[in-house]
Every structure is written in structure tokens, then in C-alpha cells.
């Protein structure tokens, strides 16, 4: 009966071509990270803020090669969780990877929702809005994201196109203002070589700590593999689209960091939560700052939409792999979207927005994803023995090896990562273990009932 139900399940709709996929990748990577983290990176290394972004870009490209081999080899939703399941076949490990990736997406989306609410208040000058009012705006926003997600991936991705163009325009404004100011003799390019290690740290550890932080701004490319079942000819278009998207965002990040530190002193750039707004003020005092507030608001909205898309598709894929309850893989027959997964992830985001303080989760998200990337880089080597009946992208063996080592190092205490990251991650993993145990007992109970049912009691 289970097989019969599976055959009646409608497939996801393939609507994403190269253009939409490229905008999805670029929009997901740009997100909120670069709008908020440039100042914090400057606090770690001083004027050489471009260096951690460059190293983070290189590490991301190494891991992207592993993802490309796996997504073209297994062009299905679920991403890292699916690859872990196929490589190691350990239910517990697969579940924890699934939970970790989903958690990173939901915390990012919830953080983006709160940031959206804050920028909404600033854009409309609603100084009276605080506390419960901000939470209500954030909750209303995440409901809207859920409805767009349910409406269909075509509508979601088309909105992503608009929001990506908006957030990209904000970064291009920063780059343009930087070029204009520097061309007019303003700013100080000598700061780019002014390296200042954080207090009590060596130069090496300051760079690695800043890289671990900057890496949060580079994540997002991995989300695109969860859209494989909704992409036209994923085996052919994924490699060139993902690598192109990474290169575009890498160049933008480096140019933004150069403009930022050339116009604003690193110590000033590291103060507050709006470093790029300071850059706009310093380079173009007459520029209407409320426009940039709107751009930032739409940028974080795009992050929320893409992360909620990723989380719901991840649940759908792993439910079909029987790692999560099958109900999470149900697809709406009319909209052809994973509606149960959308409802489930939206409910979790509700809880995070309502109860959790997400200020410190950026570093934790980076930590958890670096752990996932380490597993993926190892999985691609393990799965080399698994042959498939179609041509696919294959990364040079040395790349996933270097990728696994660098990701593991950046996730380790040796990189100089803050201890708070490990404390928050530990709490999240404990929750994950509890959820795994509940799922395991549920599945075992279902199998037990199926094997003990009396066929004489069945009715036609």
C-alpha cells in the first residue's frame, strides 16, 4: 500500500532554468551576511578586511566542487542529508545532518525576519514600535513568506529574482560610491594593507577567526542543490551556474570590503549593526539614507524566502528517503508544493522568532554548516565507488580532500572561534538527538505494527 501511495504522489514542477537558478544562488549567498558582517570582520583584522572574505571564498569554492559532483550524480532534493545517507547509511548521522542544515536555514530565516521588522520600523520611522510590535511584524512577515512558498516555486523564484536585484543594487551602490569617492581623492587606500590583529591574538589566529566569521556570508550556494527536482536539466546546468554565482558574489564581497575600509576607519566600521550605512554616509553625504534602509529590508527578505524554500524542500526529500516521517513529504495536488513541510518549517520559525534571541546565532550557523561541509567533502570520496548510469560532474580528488581539511579546521577551536558558538551548537545538537530518538522510536513502532497485523481482519 505504501508503494501504491508513493506512485500516486505528484512530482515537483521543474520551472528553474539557468537564469533563475543563477539568481537563486547569487541571492542566497548575498543575503544579510555582507550587510552586517563587514564591520565585525574589520574588528578582527583591521584594514585587511578583504583577506578573510577572499579566503572564505576559496574555501566555499572547494566545497562547491563536492556539491556539484553529488548534485549531478544524484539530482534530487535533500542535498547534504541525502549524500550523507547514501555514503554512510547511518540513520543517526543522516538525521543529525538533516537537522543541522534545517536548523541553519530556519535560524537564518528567523533572524532575517527580525531584521526585516527592525528595518521596516526604521524605513517608516515608527519609533513607537518596539518589543511585541516588532515581534508581530516579524511573525506576519514569516507567514507571508510561507504563503508565497506554498503558492509555488515558480512564484517564489520570480519574487527571488526581484529581491535579488534589489539587494544586488544596494551592494553596487556601495561599490559605486566607493569608486566615486576614491576617484575624487577621498578615502584612504593605504588602509587595505593595515593589518591589526585582535587583542591577545596572533596575526594567523586573527585571520582564521575572521575567516570563520566571513564564511557565514559565503554560505547559501549549498541551498540550491535542494531545488534539483525543480530545475530543468540539473546535471547539465548546475556546474556552470553554481561556480558562476560563487565568482560573482566573491568579486562583489571583495569590492564592497575595499570600498568600506577605504572610506571608513576599521575601528569605526566595527561599531554598530549597520556598517554599510556608514560607508554610504562617508562617501555620499547627500545620498538619501532611507533608500538604503529599504534596500537592506528587501535584502533580508530575500534571505528569509530562500532559506524557507530550502528547509521545506529538505524535509520533502528526506521524507521520501524514509529518514523522516513520510507525512513531511506530502505534496499539494494543485499547487504541487510540499505543503506539510512548509507548514512544519513555518511553525518552527514562529517559535524561534517568538522565544529565541538570535543575535549570537550567526556564528553558530557558520559553525554547523562548516561541520556539514566537512561531512559532504568526505562523502563525495566515499561515493566514488557508487556508479550511476549517466554522465556527471567529477571534481579532482585533491579538491574534496583540501575542502574537508579546511572546513574542519575553521569549525575547530584552533581557528579562534568564539566559545559561545560551541555552547549554542551543543544545545541545538542535544535537541537534535532528542528528535532523532523520537523519530527512531516512531518508525520502529510503525514497522512493528505492520508486521503484527492480522490479515484476516482486513476489509476490502
Q: Is residue 45 part of a domain?
A: yes
Cα-only R_g, the chain: 22
Measure Cα distances from 438 to 219, 255, 291, 312 in Å: 30, 48, 48, 20
**In total, how many domains does the chain have?**
1
Q: Is residue 457 part of a domain?
A: no
**Which cell is 408 given?**
574542519
Residue-level pLDDT at 123: 66
Residue spans of alpha helices (H) in 284-355 = 289-320, 339-355
Residue-level pLDDT at 126: 67
Q: Is residue 156 part of a domain?
A: yes
Q: Is residue 387 part of a domain?
A: yes
Measure Cα distances from 283 to 38, 278, 299 in Å: 16, 9, 21
Unique residue bearing C-alpha cell 524557507? 308
Q: What is the spatial distance between Cα 110 and Cα 104, in angstroms, rounded to a whole number?
A: 10
Q: Is residue 453 part of a domain?
A: no
Q: Taking the CB of residue 180, how many other CB atoms lie within 10 A of it?
A: 14
> Is the whole-model pTM more than 0.75?
yes
Cβ atoms of 126 and 293 closer than 8 Å: no
Q: Which helix (H) or strand (E) holds 24?
A: helix 18-30
Q: What is the spatial distance between Cα 203 and Cα 194, in angstroms, rounded to a whole number?
A: 12
**What backbone phi and psi angles, to 5 degrees, belong to 382?**
-65, -40
Measure Cα distances from 292 to 247, 275, 287, 388 in Å: 25, 12, 9, 49
Q: What is the spatial distance between Cα 105 and Cα 83, in angstroms, rounded to a whole number?
A: 18
Q: Can you give the pLDDT of all 460 residues of the chain as single tens digits? A: 344 444 455 666 676 778 878 887 887 788 667 776 787 788 888 888 899 999 999 999 999 999 999 988 888 766 787 888 889 988 788 888 888 888 888 878 887 887 788 777 766 766 555 667 778 888 999 999 888 888 876 666 677 678 778 888 889 999 999 999 888 888 888 888 888 776 667 778 888 888 887 887 888 788 777 677 777 877 788 888 889 999 999 999 999 999 999 998 888 887 756 678 788 888 887 888 778 878 878 877 777 887 888 788 777 876 776 666 777 778 888 777 888 889 988 988 888 788 765 556 677 778 888 999 999 999 999 999 888 888 888 999 999 999 999 999 999 988 877 787 888 778 778 877 876 777 778 777 766 665 655 544 443 4
Q: What contacts 182, CB < 8 A, 6 or more positions away? A: 189, 259, 262, 263
Q: Is 348 exposed, middle or buried (0-12, 13-18, 19+ CB in 10 A)?
A: middle
Q: Is residue 455 part of a domain?
A: no
Q: Is residue 329 part of a domain?
A: yes
CATH (domain of 284): 1.20.1740.10
State the residue range of the domain holding 411.
Answer: 2-9+16-448
**Which cell is 171 given?**
551592494
**What backbone phi and psi angles, to 5 degrees, belong to 46?**
75, -140
Q: Is residue 454 part of a domain?
A: no
Residue-level pLDDT at 130: 63
Q: Which of 195, 213, 193, 212 is nearest to 203 (CA)?
A: 195
Residue-level pLDDT at 7: 46
Residue-level pLDDT at 383: 93
CA angle 250, 19, 388 (to 5 degrees): 90
Q: Is 59 exposed, middle or buried (0-12, 13-18, 19+ CB in 10 A)?
A: buried
Residue spans of alpha helices (H) in 46-90 = 50-73, 79-88
Amino acid at each position: 500500500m505504501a508503494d501504491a501511495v508513493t506512485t500516486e504522489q505528484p512530482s515537483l514542477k521543474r520551472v528553474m532554468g539557468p537564469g533563475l537558478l543563477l539568481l537563486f544562488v547569487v541571492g542566497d549567498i548575498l543575503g544579510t551576511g555582507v550587510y552586517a558582517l563587514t564591520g565585525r570582520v574589520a574588528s578582527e583584522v583591521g584594514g585587511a578586511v578583504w583577506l578573510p572574505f577572499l579566503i572564505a571564498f576559496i574555501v566555499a569554492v572547494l566545497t562547491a566542487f563536492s556539491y556539484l559532483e553529488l548534485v549531478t550524480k544524484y539530482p534530487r532534493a535533500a542535498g547534504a542529508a541525502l549524500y550523507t545517507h547514501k555514503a554512510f547509511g547511518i540513520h543517526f548521522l543522516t538525521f543529525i545532518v538533516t537537522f543541522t542544515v534545517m536548523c541553519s536555514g530556519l535560524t537564518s530565516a528567523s533572524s532575517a525576519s527580525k531584521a526585516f521588522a527592525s528595518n521596516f520600523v526604521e524605513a517608516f520611522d515608527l519609533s513607537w514600535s518596539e518589543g511585541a510590535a516588532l515581534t508581530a511584524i516579524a511573525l506576519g512577515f514569516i507567514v507571508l513568506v510561507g504563503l508565497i512558498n506554498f503558492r509555488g516555486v515558480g512564484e517564489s523564484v520570480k519574487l527571488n529574482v526581484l529581491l535579488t536585484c534589489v539587494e544586488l543594487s544596494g551592494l553596487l551602490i556601495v561599490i559605486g560610491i566607493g569608486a566615486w569617492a576614491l576617484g575624487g581623492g577621498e578615502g584612504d587606500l593605504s588602509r587595505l594593507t593595515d593589518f591589526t590583529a585582535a587583542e591577545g591574538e596572533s596575526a594567523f589566529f586573527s585571520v582564521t577567526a575572521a575567516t570563520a566569521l566571513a564564511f557565514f556570508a559565503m554560505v547559501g550556494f549549498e541551498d540550491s542543490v535542494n531545488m534539483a527536482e525543480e530545475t530543468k536539466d540539473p546535471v547539465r546546468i548546475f556546474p556552470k551556474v553554481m561556480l558562476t554565482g560563487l565568482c560573482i558574489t566573491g568579486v562583489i564581497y571583495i569590492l564592497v570590503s575595499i570600498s568600506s575600509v577605504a572610506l571608513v576607519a576599521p575601528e569605526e566600521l566595527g561599531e554598530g549593526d549597520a556598517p554599510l550605512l556608514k560607508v554610504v554616509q562617508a562617501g555620499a553625504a547627500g545620498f538619501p539614507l532611507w533608500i538604503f534602509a529599504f534596500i537592506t529590508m528587501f535584502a533580508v527578505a530575500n534571505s528569509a524566502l530562500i532559506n524557507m524554500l530550502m528547509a521545506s524542500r529538505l524535509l520533502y526529500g528526506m521524507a521520501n528517503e524514509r529518514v523522516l516521517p513520510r507525512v513531511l513529504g506530502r505534496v499539494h495536488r494543485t499547487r504541487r508544493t510540499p505543503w506539510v513541510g512548509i507548514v512544519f518549517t513555518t511553525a518552527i520559525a514562529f517559535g524561534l522568532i517568538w522565544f529565541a534571541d538570535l543575535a549570537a546565532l550567526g556564528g553558530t550557523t557558520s559553525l554547523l554548516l562548516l561541520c556539514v561541509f566537512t561531512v559532504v567533502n568526505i562523502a563525495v570520496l566515499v561515493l566514488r565507488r557508487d556508479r550511476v548510469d549517466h554522465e556527471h560532474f567529477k571534481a579532482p580528488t585533491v579538491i574534496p580532500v583540501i575542502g574537508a581539511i579546511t572546513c574542519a579546521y575553521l569549525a575547530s577551536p584552533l581557528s579562534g572561534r568564539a566559545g559561545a558558538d560551541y555552547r549554542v551548537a551543543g544545545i541545538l545538537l542535544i535537541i537534535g538527538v532528542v528528535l532523532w530518538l523520537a523519530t527512531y522510536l516512531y518508525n520502529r513502532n510503525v514497522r512493528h505494527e505492520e508486521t503484527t497485523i492480522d490479515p484476516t481482519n482486513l476489509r476490502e
